[in-house]
Structure 1
């Protein structure tokens, strides 16, 4: 019987390993990468279709992107349908038209489970709009959202079976009770406002808000919050925390025993929306311009200046804080905030519901 040298045997075994184990594994891994890339491209196309549907009012563009044979897929589709109708109603109330909606999607993770995939992503969406009587003046705002989508393949297409995200319009999907004509006439009668002479405290507050409004901030900032502060979105919300940061870091308001933040935590007036509103008013650092329903306060909203804030009230409870960061071509106040992230968004967009009241608050810089 012929014996082969040990070294030669080892070489043969190594070659066999490469052929039967490594190469097939690489092929499988490559197939999975291709599949994930296919899903990512499909997700981006779905988001583009959604925005195109809003611009054109064409629901057929998005209907085929959902698995309507499942309860969650149907709910996801119906929610997008309601959102589209709300935005059309808001356009009519405002006297504007959205002309371009551009998403910037960053996929964080793609996971496979049998024949389905779960996709985690963030989306920073720029909305451009014009007032119908002044089409040359283009206004722009940005909204940032985090999404979890479940996807499966059907008829050679990837479709949504379930989706979760904190919709910035979820608190206001009905404008039926608003006297849109009179509101629109007033809005269209307003002109551009000049903030060039405002004090440095207001200017630096706006700069801070622009830089750290998360997914709604510019791409150059990496869509992140200020890492010096905790993110409280998973603990009840981060809106008051962000507003406090704007006042302290931007406006240079000093911390004190009632209003403070450190590594161990924060006072309720720093972190809680109701507490923040009450502290700013009763400490004398701010004063109320107006309080009430949209129809009661929308004219007074033109008195708001960059660096002021708005508190949103539902059923007697302050549930949200936004900081005023500018005004559009008709002088309509724009706000920035966390959860969901907004950057220079019309102050009532997503909040124009008859059950919501507004506190318009002037800050004393």
Structure 2
């Protein structure tokens, strides 16, 4: 008898719970999968508009439009705007020194995550593969294109019906150029405009193969068909100081078919210093006889010599006596100006000094012996 009594009580409890749920169902907001997707897509479209407007403002030099994108009532929003303002001025200075004009800056966003926070702000994580197009002032019919890939973490909030940036972080490729050296701007411009396109059609196959590898695995700067990824055979050292020398070594080994040795090596256990460290990579290449120096010094001292660089050569960037970055030369633009491809920040066919115009930076222009 006790069994049936307990069972009856159990059934009554279930009925009461169901009744309570039914009576309160009007107080519960249920989001369908479709509704969630729609909400996320609206935020995603707003983010795309923000990036497009910011890039368009660089083209038109519209600082007020850039300012409208940020929440200037917050410390981090103000910092983010001030950084973009300085970057805009650097780009203007670089255009004037180079004798060029940017005509389009097109973002291609891959949004990894959108999360609504408890304070009604949105946290977004995304990849931005930006395509830049520029022309030389006296040859507007010749369009030059390069790509820069960046990874962004940002926060947005609704301000008067519009989403604005309250915080943003990304490794900006122009970070080392906000104190640009423009002391000999006119002389540099005239020299650049006196140059012509260079023909690389006859360069050795090993150099060409090295460039094919560089283009395929330049990460966020690569094309969509290549997946914006690095070669997964190799460890990503960006979180351990930088991946630029690792990528330069891969280009020489995988594409250029240079042989590994005890000093320059990568295997399952890791990499030697000459493989993965920028300064030691430069020293190894020069001291081993696998490369020779074309020129060393400030931009004013080396920019004329940069026209001797060929696809497969490299540029080493020195700050305070230490080489901190390596870029591999991959092509040249319509005026023969050398272009580089690298990791950290990911670049594809970017003018070799763009983002490295600080007067304290020294350049090593290095010819590799294929």
The one-character-per-residue Cα deviations of 1:194-252 (angstroms, maximum 9, x if unpaired) are: 00110011000000000000000011011000001011101100000000000000000
Give 2:3's aligned residue. none
Q: Distance in 2 between matches of 1:15 and 1:48?
A: 52
* Paired residues for 1:274-353 under 5 Å: 274-353=279-358
Q: Report the counterpart of residue 47 of structure 1 in structure 2.
A: 51
Say whether the 8 Å CA contact 1:149–1:162 is kept in structure 2: yes
How far off is 1:300 after superposition? 0.2
Instruction: For structure 2, list consecutive stretches of 5 or more residues without a partner in the other structure.
Output: 1-9
Candidates 234, 240, 243, aligned match of 1:235: 240
Aligned residue for 2:348, secondary structure, equals strand
In 2, the alpha carbon distance for the partners of 1:18 and 1:213 equals 56
* 1:106 aligned residue: 110
Query: Which structure 2 residues correspond to residues 150-161 of structure 1 after superposition, within 5 A?
Result: 150-161=155-166
The reply on whether 1:128 has 2:136 as its aligned counterpart is no
Select 2:217's aligned residue among 196, 212, 216. Answer: 212
| C-alpha deviation, 1:264, in angstroms | 1.4
Check if 1:172 corresponds to 2:183: no
Partner SS for 1:174: coil
**1:221 paired to 2:220:** no
TM-score (norm: length of structure 2): 0.92
Once residues 250 and 180 of structure 2 are traced to their aligned partners in structure 1, the CA distance between those partners, rounded to angstroms, is: 33
Q: Which runs of 4+ in 1 moved over 6 A?
A: 9-16
User: Residues 20-39 of structure 1: CA distance to partner in whole angstroms, max 9, x if unpaired?
Assistant: 65994533766554433222
Partner of 2:97: 93
- 1:178/1:17 Cα in 2 relative to 1: closer, same or farther (>3 Å)? same
Out of 266, 270, 276, the residue aligned to residue 271 of structure 1 is 276
The match for 1:78 is 82
Distance in 2 between residues matched to 1:293 and 1:225, nearest whole Å: 31
Q: Deviations over 1:75-104 (max 9, x none)?
A: 000111111110011000000000011000
The 5 A counterparts of 1:350-365 are: 350-365=355-370
Alpha-carbon spacing, 1:177–1:95, altered in 2? closer, same or farther (3 Å): closer
TM-score by length of 1: 0.94
2:6 matched to which residue of 1? none
Q: Return the alpha-carbon distance in structure 2 between the equivalents of residues 262 and 185 of structure 1.
A: 48
Aligned residues: 361
Contact kept? 2:181, 2:359, Cα under 8 Å? no
Structure 1: gaps spanning 5 or more residues: 1-5
